[in-house]
Amino acid sequence: MLVLSRKLEESFIINGNIEVIVTAIQGHKVSLGISAPADVKIFRKELCPILEEKDRPKMASISESPKTKTNWNFLSSVQTLR
């Protein structure tokens, strides 16, 4: 894991085409802006289990068992929520 320190309005680049910008800091809460190509899927981690349950009927047609499928593998089969 890489840990970075950034100040307000500073950013970092991922994979040369995804920019993450610190847009606000209020107490212990940090707001981030993410600029990425349209084909990059971005999800809040806490929604991953909810998405998995909601999309379970689609997963039944996938040869891999839903029980062995990881959240990250699952996300590749879900439509972008933007």
Q: Is 34's pLDDT higher than 90?
A: yes
Q: Where are the domains of the chain?
A: 1-38, 43-77
Q: Give the residue, 53 or 14, on which the prediction is more confident.
A: 14
- Nearest to 59, CA basis, from 73, 47, 45: 73
User: 41 and 75 in contact (C-beta within 8 Å)?
Assistant: yes
Q: pLDDT band for position 56 (50/70/90)?
A: low
Q: pLDDT band for position 44 (50/70/90)?
A: confident
User: 13 and 7 in contact (C-beta within 8 Å)?
Assistant: no
**Average pLDDT of the segment spanning 22-29:** 95
